[in-house]
Amino acid sequence: MATLLIVDDELQVRKLLETLLQYEGYHTQSVATGEEALALVAEQPPDLILLDIMMPGMDGYEVANHLKNNPATANIPIIMLSALSEPSARVSGLQTGAEEFISKPVERVELWLRVRNLLRLKTYGDQLKNHSLMLEQQLRERGTETAKMNVHDLARLDLENALRQAVTAGEFTLHYQPKQSLSNGRVSGLEALLRWERPGYGTVSPAVFVPILEHLGLIVSVGRWVIEQACRQIALWQRSGIGAMEVSVNVSGHQLIEGDLIADIGRLLAQTSVEPHWLEVELTESSLMDNTQHTITSLQRLRAMGVKIAIDDFGTGYSSLAYLRRFPLDTLKIDIAFIREVTSNPQDAAIARTIIELAHSLGLRAVAEGVETAEQLAFLKQAGCDQLQGYLLSPPLPVAALERWLRDQRGL
Ligand SMILES: [Mg+2]
Residue 111 contacts residue 17 (beta carbons within 8 Å): yes
Residues 221 and 108 in one domain: no
Name residues whose C-beta falls within 8 Å of residue 50's C-beta, 6 or more positions apart in sequence: 4, 5, 6, 7, 8, 17, 78, 79, 81, 102, 115
**Amino acid present at 115:** V
Residue 283 Cα to ligand 1 midpoint, Å, equals 7
Residue 391 Cα to ligand 1 midpoint, Å, equals 15
187 bridge partner residues? 180
Residues 113 and 237 in one domain: no
The radius of gyration computed from the CA coordinates of the chain, to the nearest angstrom, equals 25
Within-domain flag for 165: no
Residues 94 and 217 in one domain: no
Residue 166 contacts residue 155 (beta carbons within 8 Å): no
Name residues whose C-beta falls within 8 Å of residue 400's C-beta, 6 or more positions apart in sequence: none
Name residues whose C-beta falls within 8 Å of residue 267's C-beta, 6 or more positions apart in sequence: none
Residue 243 Cα to ligand 1 midpoint, Å, equals 23
Judged against a pLDDT cut of 70, whether residue 145 lies above it is answered with no
Residue 284 Cα to ligand 1 midpoint, Å, equals 8
Residue 375 Cα to ligand 1 midpoint, Å, equals 23
Within-domain flag for 300: yes
Within-domain flag for 384: yes
- Res 2: pLDDT: 86
pLDDT interval class at 144 (50, 70, 90): low
Residues 246 and 194 in one domain: yes
Q: Counting every residue, how long is the chain?
A: 412
Within-domain flag for 163: no
Residues 192 and 318 in one domain: yes
For position 378, which CATH number holds?
A: 3.20.20.450
Residue 326 CA to residue 107 CA, distance in Å, equals: 23
Residues 212 and 317 in one domain: yes
Residue 208 belongs to what domain range?
A: 171-409
Residue 9 Cα to ligand 1 midpoint, Å, equals 48
Residue 245 contacts residue 234 (beta carbons within 8 Å): yes
Q: What is the mean pLDDT of residues 371-379?
A: 96
- Res 353: pLDDT: 94
Query: The pTM is what?
Result: 0.64
Residues 321 and 304 in one domain: yes
Within-domain flag for 10: yes
Residues 300 and 239 in one domain: yes
Q: What is the mean pLDDT of residues 338-364?
A: 92
Q: Count how many domains the chain has.
A: 3
pLDDT digits (tens, 9 = 90+) for 82-126: 876 666 777 777 777 788 888 888 877 888 888 888 888 777 777
pLDDT interval class at 138 (50, 70, 90): low
Residue 310 Cα to ligand 1 midpoint, Å, equals 9
Residues 264 and 397 in one domain: yes
- Which has more pLDDT, 101 or 354? 354
Name residues whose C-beta falls within 8 Å of residue 352's C-beta, 6 or more positions apart in sequence: 334, 338, 339, 342, 368, 379, 380, 383, 385
Residues 215 and 351 in one domain: yes
- Res 93: pLDDT: 74
Within-domain flag for 87: yes
Residue 280 Cα to ligand 1 midpoint, Å, equals 10
Name residues whose C-beta falls within 8 Å of residue 319's C-beta, 6 or more positions apart in sequence: 285, 288, 289, 311
Best CA proximity match to 21, nearest among 40, 5, 44, 39: 5
Residue 354 CA to residue 24 CA, distance in Å, equals: 29
Residue 250 Cα to ligand 1 midpoint, Å, equals 5
pLDDT digits (tens, 9 = 90+) for 62-80: 999 999 888 889 889 999 9
Residues 96 and 134 in one domain: no
Residue 262 Cα to ligand 1 midpoint, Å, equals 19
Residue 313 Cα to ligand 1 midpoint, Å, equals 7
189 bridge partner residues? 179
Judged against a pLDDT cut of 60, whether residue 404 lies above it is answered with yes
The separation between CA 316 and the C-alpha centre of its own chain, rounded to angstroms, equals: 16
For position 21, which CATH number holds?
A: 3.40.50.2300
Residues 69 and 152 in one domain: no
Judged against a pLDDT cut of 60, whether residue 26 lies above it is answered with yes
Residue 331 CA to residue 401 CA, distance in Å, equals: 27
Handedness of CA 83, 87, 88, 93 (dihedral sign): positive
Q: At what angle do helices 219-239 and 206-216 cross, to 10 degrees?
A: 120
